[in-house]
Amino acid sequence: MANSISDLRPEFWAREAQRSLFVENKAMSVANTQLRNILAGEGRKAHRTILSYPASATYTPGTDITASTVIGSKETLEVDTFLASLVTIDDTEEKQSILDLGSKIAARMMKDHNNRIEQAVLGQVSNAGHSLDDGNVGGVLGNNMILNTDVIPQVFVSADTKLDAIDAPKAGRTAVVGGHFMRWVKLQQAGRDTVFGDGVNTNGVVTNLFGWDIVESNNLPFSATLTIATNPSEDDTITIAGVTFTFTAALVSAGDLHIGSSAATTVANMVVALNALATSITEATDAGYTRISDENVFLLRDKRRITAAATSATVTTVSGYGDIVVSQDLTDETDDWASEKQTSLFCVRGCVDQVVQMPPIIEVGREAKQFADIVKSMLGYGVETFADGAREMVSVSIDASTNDWS
């Protein structure tokens, strides 16, 4: 007979919490922060003046010169984004925890705020005055660019051509690329005398190639469309950044999505769930969702910033930031993901104006009617791409559906 000594077996806890695995912020260095000096103390808006150019014409002696009309206008950056978070830590929780809960939570708040600022800056690539796609590197015009070692030099040359055509400065040209793009850069440079730093410098630069500073970031904009024209069958799935959602008639497990009475109602339920991942939806005829785990909520909501929007009754656009992989296991093989795209930013450093009026701050106070600490954070910022900055930006549409992404 075995002895019953389970209560005598000691248990041990690691003093280090699980790693939060936020993106190491590097790409914010492409932003121009000079307007911060104007709005640092007070105010909400900073204006930049724009003056039209007077024209010149041939002068004929003895003939009056035609006057040019000069037009003045303005562009405005507004500090209009304020983010905050708050956690209450009871004294008993702090006392009985092996972790320093206050410092761990505060550190994660700071990382989340820094992540949001970088995504806001890199999201400005949508305002770029120039664009490159597969057609610019020998492929099909209008398609997302399929990368390979032959394409890599063409991307940099094509981006140079766009910027040279408008006489943009050559100094400070910076390419912000994702990990998959960087993979092809390294393969293209294999065997060449190229130094890739083990770390990055203060501007986030990994290396300099083809006259460009290269910054690697996992916060570049991503988008894809999902068509579900046929109502899913039991146990059909979709997967976003490694998190699986299962279509089912009865909710049981985390990530379950209720199958509605039609494809359109199922898709509508899915869109609501993807936009509120931490909130379960009560099961009904055309609704129902079981929230995913806290770790997966963090991954999709806080880190990858996943959002969903219905393009039509059966087509959904899913957007986020980073090297995101999507897949599906749907009964109808014609229902699938499409147009998976990550957008790289090729630009002149300083093309995006950014003002962080309230840098990420942490405050700790006492709860008046409890024995507890209140840990709260605040961030206030504004981001704007002015017309001259847009002319110094090139968006590069990368195909994120190729084999190297899966």
| pLDDT tens-place string over residues 276-329 | 999 999 999 999 999 999 999 999 999 999 999 999 999 999 999 999 999 999
Encoded tokens for 48: 């930049």
Provide the pLDDT confidence category of residue 97 given band limits of 50, 70 and 90.
confident
Amino acid 301: pLDDT: 96
Max avg pLDDT among 9-23, 59-73, 373-387? 373-387
Comparing CA positions, the residue from 29, 21, 23 lying closest to residue 204 is 29
Q: How many CB atoms lie within 10 A of CB 216?
A: 22
Residue 376 CB burial class (10 angstroms; 0-12, 13-18, ≥19) = middle
Per cent of the chain over pLDDT 70 is 91
Whether residue 28 is predicted with pLDDT greater than 90 in this model: the reply is no
| Structure tokens given for 104 | 């761990």
Q: What is the pLDDT of residues 151-196, one digit of tens each?
A: 999 999 999 999 999 999 999 999 999 999 999 999 999 877 777 7
Residue 25: predicted pLDDT: 67
Does 14 score more than 70 pLDDT?
no
State the pLDDT confidence band at 86, using cuts at 50, 70 and 90: very high
pTM > 0.75: yes
Range 24-52+73-220+340-406 classified under CATH 3.40.1620: no
**pLDDT of amino acid 38:** 76
Mean predicted confidence (pLDDT) in 101-110: 90
What tokens does 272 get? Answer: 């609501």
**pLDDT value at 403 more than 90:** no
Residue 19 has pLDDT above 70, yes or no: no
pLDDT above 70 (res 57)? yes
Decide which of 404 and 349 is more confident: 349
Domain locations in the chain?
24-52+73-220+340-406, 229-334
* pLDDT for residue 49: 83
pLDDT value at 268 more than 90: yes
Cβ atoms of 119 and 219 closer than 8 Å? yes
The dihedral through the CA atoms of 299, 353, 205, 400 has a sign that is positive
pLDDT tens digit string along 331-364?
Answer: 999 999 999 999 999 999 999 999 888 888 999 9
